[in-house]
Amino acid sequence: MANAVETEEQQDLNCYRTGDYHPVNIGDVYHNRYTVERKLGWGAYSTVWLCWDQIDLQYIALKIVRSAAKKTQSAVNEIKFLKCANGFSKSKVVQLLDNFQISGVNGTHVCMVFEVLGDNLLKLIIKSGSLPLTKVKSIIRQVLQGLDFLHTTCKIIHTDIKLENVCLNGNNDVASEEVPVTIVDLGTACWVNQHFFDSIQTRPYRSPEVILGADYQANADVWSTACLAFELATGHFLFPDIGDCVDKCSKQDVNHLALVVRLLGNVPKELESGSKFFKKFLTPDGKLRRYPDLESYGLVELLTEKYEWDVEEAQTFSDFLLPMLAIDPTEMDKIINWFKKLVKKNKTHSTSDFTKPFLDFDDKTVETDEEQEDPRMYCEGGYHPVKIGDIYRKRYIVVRKLGWGAFSTVWLCWDLKNLRYKALKIVRSDVSVKEASRSEIKMLKSANSIKVVKLLDNFKISGVNGTHICMVFEVLGDNLLKLIIESGYKGLPLTKVKSIIRQVLEGLNDLHTKCGIMHTDIKPENVCVNKNNGTVGNEVPITIADLGNGCWISPNMSFPIQTRPYRCPEVILGANYTENADVWSVACLAFELATG
């Protein structure tokens, strides 16, 4: 595919055919609002893409399902499950924001739009090897809390709990004891009283009743959660899949059951009722026919001998884990009561913010589709050369360029410490420009207004072109100039214009009266939409940006200020001016917003 985005491992290109994946290119726009930026991943049923929502001004994850009839039906079911789950707040289940269908060269595809989350737990384990028990317990309690909600409120069984299907909430710090998570992918889920498949769950997380072909209930999800907990704590499967077999209901199942029996003892004979394969694999007393004399070992023994855990720590974790691994149906009431107590403990709630998952990078200079800065300015005293993937201050990883100006370039970066996106402004190394930047930093630190952009960090870097001042800001949306351009230069409705101007004046009033600061360069480029808030009715929450030309208010101000079309008469005449010069610029801004 032309301009196709790459991931660590690509799906089979032969699957881009009738009944399979839909070909996607960077820049494609779906549903007249979602612009594709890059691939997030893929699976047996779909591809997932990071997109920019042009209406709500935020990133979303777009899942495009393969067009085969069975895949389409599964997607239709998933949408029903998600709409049921999303009808309640704090459900710990991923939010479905939109859904629609598209027609392409390979058929009709169901599309789902989700909130963007952070890495899944598999990536976390790959990076860390294992997690401290405090974090494991925090994560498991949240997963069980989400499952309790699905099971009891929605009457849904997830059927595929595993590391890949639990994601970090991207705006949370992994270094903290609490690691808020969200359950994702209800693509193979079923109703508690209506099962779609006899065989469920990915092999290492599969419960004994499913292996034996017995009727399963919601507690099958709890078994998978126990397997997930062990994997988080040790970095290894509790019941590893021992090779692929042609007959998945024979040798592979026997090996799996052998691991279960060694750890937990014989399978209860009560499980025989309704089981298709109990007699095939097991004796009447629950012993494996193929391995009747298996020596058992307890979970504590496994943890202390194989993983060299401290006995006390192993016992604590065993006490936490074993209730989830109960397979005796007669003990189900006890399991449910334990489950209810556990999910009520230590509940954590996620916060919403402009956050996205970590992105991969290519080793090349970032490009945008808009006009580029003069490459001759990459010289001594000029811009600092930046590449995607560069890391600044050991925490800010460059993702792409946001823009540039006469004094600086601005880059979208991922903050490794706070796990959220930031805007990094790298100032030219020219002495006079650096002096202006130092003044800007002082003003930004003094600016006390919710309508003025927040300076989150500042530092210096040394590069081939000199020493550069860097400023880190919250990430905002498009500036008002882009809003005007998108309107076809026809202007915005007056109700929205009044809303924007009222907020700009509020911000300026704070700067003038509380901080003693004059902005001096109010224009559409320096007022941005709040990406966190989006547009709500006629309200367009905004933030004043760029105090690079700001000054402290003094009695005799007369030096030249303001961009020409927004310049007030007293500045043109070289007379003394006051902070009211900012208000003149706002009036010019208002006319431009209303007329284009």
- Residue 77 located in a structural domain: yes
Same domain, 487 and 463: no
Stretch (H or E) spanning 501: helix 494-509
pLDDT of 75 > 50? The answer is yes
Residues 29 and 175 in one domain: no
Does one domain contain both 82 and 184? no
- Domain membership of residue 423 (yes or no) is yes
Say whether both 436 and 503 belong to one domain: no
In tens, the pLDDT along 218-271 reads: 989 999 999 999 999 999 999 987 654 444 456 788 889 989 988 988 888 878
Percent of the chain scoring above 70 in pLDDT: 85
> What whole-number distance in Å separates Cα of residue 419 and Cα of residue 151?
31
State how far the alpha carbon of 214 is from the alpha carbons of 154, 271, 274, 276, in Å. 23, 7, 5, 6
Percentage of the chain lying above the pLDDT 90 cut: 53
Residue-number span of the structural domain to which 444 is assigned? 378-473
Residues 315-359 pLDDT 10s: 999 988 988 887 765 555 555 555 555 545 443 333 233 333 323
Please check whether residues 92 and 27 belong to one and the same domain: yes
Confirm if 582 and 506 have CB atoms less than 8 A apart: no
Within 10 angstroms of residue 196's Cβ, the number of other Cβ atoms is: 13
Query: Are both 126 and 58 inside the same structural domain?
Result: no
pLDDT of residue 169: 86
**Angstrom distances, CA of residue 126 to CA of 45, 166, 231, 241:** 24, 14, 11, 18
Residue 196 pLDDT exceeds 60 = yes
Q: What does the block give as tokens for 514?
A: 């509380």
CA 418, distance to chain mean position in Å, is 13
> Average pLDDT for residues 75-99, to the nearest whole number?
85
pLDDT category, 288, cuts 50, 70, 90? confident
DSSP 8-state secondary structure symbol assigned to residue 106: T
Please check whether residue 182 lies inside any domain of the structure: yes
Q: What is the mean pLDDT of the chain?
A: 84
Query: Could you tell me which of 430, 367, 436, 358 has the C-alpha nearest to residue 391?
Result: 358
Q: What is the pLDDT of residues 516-555, one digit of tens each?
A: 999 999 999 999 998 654 555 567 899 999 898 899 999 8
**Which residues have CB under 8 Å from 416's CB, separation 6+?**
391, 394, 395, 396, 397
User: What tens digit of pLDDT does each residue of 138-183 get?
Assistant: 999 999 989 988 988 888 999 999 999 999 986 545 667 778 999 9
Tokens 């090349």: give the residue: 364
3 in a domain, yes or no? no
Answer whether residue 363 is part of any domain. Answer: no
d(CA 482, CA 6): 30
Is-contact 182 167, C-beta < 8 A? yes
Give the pLDDT of residue 533. Answer: 43
Higher pLDDT, 13 or 377: 377
**Rounded mean pLDDT, 374-386:** 89
Residues forming the active site = 160
Q: Is 439 helix (H, G, I), strand (E, B) or coil?
A: helix
Q: How far is CA 128 from CA 121, 162, 307, 371, 585, in A?
A: 10, 17, 16, 42, 53
Residues 448-497 have pLDDT tens digits of 778 999 999 999 999 999 999 999 998 888 889 988 888 888 889 999 99
Q: What pLDDT, on the 0 to 100 scale, is given for residue 537?
A: 57
Same domain? 342 vs 383: no
Q: At which residue do the structure tokens 């479905």 appear?
A: 96
Let me know whether 267 and 136 are in one domain. Answer: yes
Query: Is the domain of 88 the same as that of 146?
Result: no
Number of domains comprising the chain: 4
Rounded to an integer, the average pLDDT of 79-90 is: 79
Per the model's pLDDT, the better-predicted residue between 314 and 326 turns out to be 314
Inform me whether the pLDDT recorded for 106 exceeds 80.
yes
Same domain assignment for residues 447 and 462: yes
List Cβ neighbours of 290 (8 Å cut-off, separation of 6 or more): 254, 258, 281
Domain CATH number, residue 434: 3.30.200.20
pLDDT at 393: 92
Longest dimension (CA), the chain: 102
Tell me the H-state helices in 265-325: 278-281, 299-305, 311-321
Which pLDDT belongs to residue 581? 95
Question: Using 50, 70 and 90 to split pLDDT, how confident is the model at 7?
Answer: very low
**pTM of the model as a whole:** 0.56
Pairwise pLDDT comparison (114 vs 355), residue with the higher score: 114
3-class DSSP state of 129: coil
Indicate whether 65 and 178 sit together in one domain: no
Closest-CA residue to 30 (of 53, 47, 48): 53
What pLDDT sits at residue 595? 94
Given a cut of 80, whether residue 591 has pLDDT beyond it is: yes
pLDDT at 333: 52
| Digit-coded pLDDT (tens) for 425-441 | 999 999 999 998 999 99
| pLDDT tens, residue by residue, 22-34 | 999 999 999 999 9
pLDDT at 143: 94
Q: How many residues does the chain have?
A: 596
User: How high is the pLDDT of residue 3?
Assistant: 33
Place of tokens 């190394």: 429
